[in-house]
Structure 1
Amino acid sequence: MDTEYVEELARIIAYKGVAPLADFGVLTSGTTGRPKPLWRSESSWREFFDIQNDIFHINKDTKIFLHGSFSFTGVSNMVIAVLWSGGTVITTSSLRPNRWIQLIEEYHVDHIYALPTKLRLLVRHCKSKVDSINYIIAGSQVLDRQLMEQLERICPNMEFILYYGATELNYITYCTGKEWLDREGTVGRPFPSVRIEEQNGVIYVTTKHHIEGIPDTYTVNDCGYIDRDGYLMFNGRQGDVINKGGYKISIPEMELYLQSLQGVSEVAIITINDDIRGEDFVAYMVLEDNTELSKIIEIIHHERPSVEWPKAILEIPMLPLTECSKIDKRKLKEWYNKG
């Protein structure tokens, strides 16, 4: 973290104080760019480790590879949970996927923990099969069928486990890759001891494994619904909608569509102001080798109504990531405004 960020974090803590029952603080992976410390008791993590380790098939023999800042609670939680079980963590500060693959092969890694952004980088650089991988654990960022199929080819022995969680609430739901393929858009069913319900399209979670200062039933304002089999179908965060002259476009749904196009490796959408329609959007894309952007635009114009066409589609070699391994949309907006 840079000096300015650390100094602002210190000012916030000095002004707001520390929750009385807290043992440590964590930072959210939000999009504001400002520090937001959240406070936890040790037991709110420790008492959930055995539950999550059972779901993720983590034990004393586990060798897990992960990459990312420990300020991201997903990474720090996973590291401590694996060590709690007696397993081994393999990591590196290197951003080079070739280095990740080298470590995975050298240490005969059997688990990978990564968000889809990192998995896409792995897929693009992996030239041979990795037979040692038994499980890939991924957060419920935008996932697509093509990525799943690519991972199955590279890691033929792996089982995919998708989870949905929140910094404030720990892990909430999970499912296997097969369940996700059968119900595209699901983030699974609740972890043991966790209960979910939907009210007016908003997800409410009941769990005792949460940060200090919030009730046992709480919402982070994520939207979705529960199907008849108890699977949570995820529709994104409240506000993840572009109002284009009265026509509503879901950002997660549009990103999923663009991601599914043949030749598109990665995609991110940013919302921009529009003098006529009020709001519009721009799509940034990383394309696979030999894919022409003009062909992608042609497909979009053929398959989608004109009101759903991005104002611009910009090709870049790599999407910028935050410390938390999520797409840095603030950086993309800066690039667009400067351009």
Structure 2
Amino acid sequence: MPETAKRSAREHYESLVSRANQAPEDFWAEQARRIVWFRDPATILAWDAQEHARWFIDGEMNICHAALDHHVANGRGDQVALYWDSPVTDSKCQYTYRELRDEVARLAGALRDKGVEKGDRVIIYMPMVAEAAMAMLACARLGAVHSVVFGGFSPKELAIRIDDATPKVILAASFGIEVDRVIPYKPWLDEAIELATHTPEACLILQREQQRATLGPRDHDWQECLAHAQATEAVSMLGSEPLYILYTSGTTGTPKGVVRDHAGYAVALHYSMEILYGTRPGDTFMAASDIGWVVGHSYIVYGPLLMGASTVMYEGKPVRTPDAGAFWRLIEEYRINCFFTAPTAFRAIKKEDPDASLMAGRDLSSLRSLFLAGERLDPPTYHWLNDLLPVPIVDHWWQTETGWPVAGNLLGLDMITRQASGPRAPVEARAGSATWPLPGFNVQVLDGLGDEVEPGVQGNVVIQQPLPPGCLTGLYHNPARFHAAYLAAYPGYYLTGDGGYLDEDGYLFVMGRIDDVINVAGHRLSTGEMEQVLGSHEAVAECAVIGIEDSLKGEMPLGLVIIKDAWRGDESALRQALAQRVRDEIGAIASLKDVLIVERLPKTRSGKILRKMIRQIAAGEQYQIPSTIDDPASLEDVREALSEAGVGLAGQARSA
């Protein structure tokens, strides 16, 4: 990129950041004018009792109306709004904006017939079917607060959320399907209701043809309810009123219910679709995630529809449905312009198809960008993708709590003001970095005393108040916990819980959770750095580094790696070479104790490696198997590898 272009992009970016930081009310009032309101807000920014920002509190709108009715009224009624693709059931369908609006309006009417009103809570416990997105939008249309519980959560975990949210109605399906198993949603729902203290008044059950469920006295057939329902118009909502509760994954005991509002969320998502993802009305956008996670809320359902794009909803996996070419097939078939998934998905693809041979012959000319988030995009995976695809590969970082990205390479930076022809990377990416914080997120890195650290020095990543629109407004009926978890450590700042650093050019490097930093002989070392080194070896598909107790140095790092299917070599020699590579590239202080080869690593269904659990197993501690775990058998792989290496007592499991 020419130096003048770099300067121009940097100057444009810095002007936006300056406006967002110095005059946030003016900046966000301008962005708010880009969505549709029933009544424009007079109060742009207000502060609650905890000195936490609240946005557009007296404006009136409805996010479902803005995502559907508005586009139908403005000529997009015949454009496809939602593609649904399910290789696990060999099914596909699509809905135009008009068809989706009509289905959602009738479902809202069915909910109203069951007594659901503005402010009531509705739990959605469904697989990745089109009706799950309709359920979210129908709740929003009524002003009911939806809480999506990841499909397949255990009855115990579902019961905890039922007791916390106290839903009037639960929407569920007869079953869900994974690659190699059927998940009995309805029996698990019945068990959860028996376990819970709170009992919903009714359950609407979507009967999937492959396996129907037996309905009980409180249950109602989804399609029968819709057949008798009248379409319902969108309810006017104050901007500050709640849209949904989303419980953070992997919680034990009482979960943290992140609360999001209608207006701030709508403004932020619309802005991010333009400035970060470079998406325009009429584009096709796909987030390969699940509606049970924040990515599904923000960028399968609400974000693309607010923009007037077509969204692709996928009931499948990156591999084994049927193979590691699934994503390439989706991009070609639906002419996807912007694709978004987790790094772990492409690490799985790289493991099974390291040369991307399954991409051969696919027409991927529609693809303009590839975005990754959910776990740190390790440089080896970044370089593999960058060599493979002639489009920007964008690592971006955000959290359930923020609701939309905190940092990323702004592909739409020129589109809003200069009407550029399409998305392009304004600056060069740096492997391992999420690039720059987005306008509105004043990101800083502080030490334990609250002082800002020098560029390149790792510390605690925080965001100065006010947080921009779209971030959490609090935790459901628990303000004390909200303050203690996020605001108390550094007054005036939001604590992200992640560690990292800003380099001399303002690029943000997020190295992992704060508790993933280990202390070796008084030196604080990032496990993320060591994983970066291990992952760069040609034999390694995926890896994790943890700290284990050491009587002399306090902690010592231990690596666990998954090797590529196609790799053939001596495993003992590979282990030695990997340990030496870490010492060579980070220094002798790294003192990597050993590298163990495992078949699988325990992960959540969203792709996050459960490093804390691996540490607990290594330390011989009792550990809780989280409801979000993707493959419980992976724990045995880790236990066996650690036991064979003589590490710890290999822990004792407690069922979730």
TM range (shorter): 0.7 to 0.9
Gaps of 5+ in 1: none
1:23 aligns with 2:243: yes
1:274 deviates by: 5.3
Paired position in structure 1 for 2:158:
6
Q: Could you tell which deviates more after superposition, 302-311 or 92-101?
A: 302-311
Q: Which amino acid aligns with 2:408?
A: Y
| Range 122-131 or range 29-38, more displaced | 29-38
**How far is 1:69 from its partner?**
2.2
> Counterparts of 1:44-55 in structure 2 under 5 Å?
44-54=264-274, 55=276
- Deviation string 1:259-287 (CA, Å, 9 cap, x unpaired) is 11222111123444557765444433221
In the other structure, the counterpart of 1:109 is: 336
1:68–1:323 Cα contact (<8 Å) kept:
no
Question: 1:66, 1:75 within 8 Å by CA — same for their partners in 2?
Answer: yes
Please say if residues 445 and 462 of structure 2, whose CA atoms lie closer than 8 Å, have aligned partners that are also in contact.
yes
Cα contact 1:116–1:138 (8 A) shared by 2? yes
Query: CA RMSD of the aligned region, Å?
Result: 3.1
Q: How far apart, in 2, do the equivalents of 1:258 and 1:32 lie?
A: 31
Q: Structure 2 unaligned runs (5+)?
A: 1-152, 167-195, 197-239, 411-424, 448-458, 475-481, 618-634, 644-656
Provide closer, same or farther for how the CA distance between residues 211 and 301 of structure 1 changes in structure 2, counting only shifts above 3 A: closer
What is the alpha-carbon distance in structure 2 between the residues aligned to residue 306 and residue 232 of structure 1?
25
- Closer, same or farther in 2 for the Cα pair 1:324/1:146, shift >3 Å? closer
Aligned counterpart for 2:609 among listed residues 307, 327, 332: 327
- Closer, same or farther: CA 98–91 of 1 in aligned 2, 3 Å: farther
Give the whole-Å Cα distance in 2 for the aligned partners of 1:33 and 1:329: 20
CA contact under 8 A between 1:111 and 1:133: conserved in structure 2? yes
| SS state at 2:496 partner | coil
- Separation (CA, whole Å) in 2 of partners of 1:163 and 1:196: 14
The residue aligned with 2:304 is 82
Tell me the secondary structure at the aligned position of residue 294 of structure 1: helix
TM-score with structure 2 length normalisation?
0.46
Amino acid at match of 2:257: P
Q: 1:279 to 1:217 in 2, by over 3 A?
A: closer
Contact 1:56 1:161 in 2 (8 A): no
- 1:115 to 1:46, Cα distance in 2 relative to 1, 3 A: same
What is the CA distance between 1:48 and its match in structure 2?
0.5
**Larger mean Cα displacement after TM superposition, 106-115 or 282-291:** 282-291
Mapping for residues 242-281 of structure 1, pairs under 5 Å: 242-244=518-520, 246=522, 248-273=524-549, 279-281=555-557
Equivalent residues of 1:71, 1:324 under 8 A apart: no
Partner of 1:89: helix, strand, or coil? strand
Counterpart for residue 208 of structure 1: 468
Structure 1 residue 141: deviation in Å? 2.5
- Which residue of structure 2 lines up, in the alignment, with residue 302 of structure 1? 580
Which deviates further from its counterpart, 264-273 or 132-141? 264-273
Give, in whole Å, the separation in 2 of the partners of 1:33 and 1:263.
40
Instruction: Answer 1 or 2: which has greater strand percent.
Output: 1
Structure 1 residues 87-143: Cα deviation after superposition (integer angstroms, max 9, x where no partner): 122232222333333222222222210111112233444423533321101116232
Matches within 5 A, 1:85-234: 85-95=307-317, 96=319, 97-123=324-350, 124-125=352-353, 126-127=356-357, 128-129=359-360, 130-139=364-373, 141-156=375-390, 158-170=391-403, 171-175=405-409, 181=429, 183-200=430-447, 201-205=459-463, 206=465, 207-209=467-469, 210-213=471-474, 217-234=493-510
Residue of structure 2 in register with 1:314 after alignment? 597
**SS of 1:52's equivalent?**
helix
Over 3 Å counting, the alpha-carbon distance change for 1:184 and 1:32 in structure 2 is: farther
Moved over 6 A (4+): none
> For 1:61-72, what aligned pairs fall within 5 Å after superposition?
61-72=282-293
Instruction: Give the conservation status (yes or no) of the 8 Å contact 2:500–2:511.
Output: yes
Distance in 2, matches of 1:295 and 1:67, equals 37
When normalised by structure 1's length, the TM-score is: 0.84
Contact 1:61/1:86, CA 8 A, preserved across alignment: yes
Distance, in Å, in 1 between the alignment partners of 2:251 and 2:548 is 16
Per-residue deviation, residues 169-199 of structure 1 (Å, max 9, x unmatched): 2321112779565x44432222122222232
With over 3 angstroms needed to count, the CA separation of the structure-2 counterparts of 1:30 and 1:5, relative to structure 1, is: closer
The letter for the 2-side match of 1:322 is T
Q: Which residue of 1 aligns with 2:567?
A: 290
Greater displacement, 161-170 / 109-118? 161-170
Q: C-alpha distance in 2, partners of 1:221/1:180?
A: 27
* 2:212 corresponds to: none
Distance 1:107 1:300 in 2: 41
Q: Which structure's CA Rg is the greater one?
A: 2
Identity %: 21
C-alpha contact (below 8 Å) 1:180/1:187 kept by paired residues: no
CA distance 1:262–1:51, shift in 2 (3 Å): same
- 1:76 is displaced (CA, Å) by 1.9
In the superposition, relative to structure 1, how do residues 30 and 51 fare at CA in structure 2: closer, same or farther (>3 Å)?
farther
Partner of 2:453: none
Distance 1:280 1:179 in 2: 38
Show CA shifts across 1:302-328 (max 9, x none).
Answer: 331386224441231x44431223224
- The AA in structure 2 aligned to 1:327 is I
SS in 1 for 2:398: strand
Aligned 1:31-46 pairs, distance under 5 A: 35-46=255-266
- Post-superposition offset of 1:211: 0.9
2:544·2:609 contact (CA, 8 Å) conserved in 1? Answer: yes
Aligned amino acid, residue 468 of structure 2: K
How many angstroms does 1:253 deviate by? 1.1
Q: Indicate if the aligned counterparts of 1:63 and 1:109 stay in contact, CA closer than 8 A.
A: yes
Question: Are the aligned partners of 2:374 and 2:608 in contact in 1 as well (CA < 8 Å)?
Answer: no
Show the counterpart of 1:58: 279
Give 3-state SS (helix, strand or coil) of 1:91's partner.
Answer: strand
Q: Is the 8 A contact 1:164 1:187 kept in 2?
A: yes
Q: Shift of residue 51 of structure 1?
A: 1.5
Structure 1 distance, partners of 2:441, 2:507, is 13
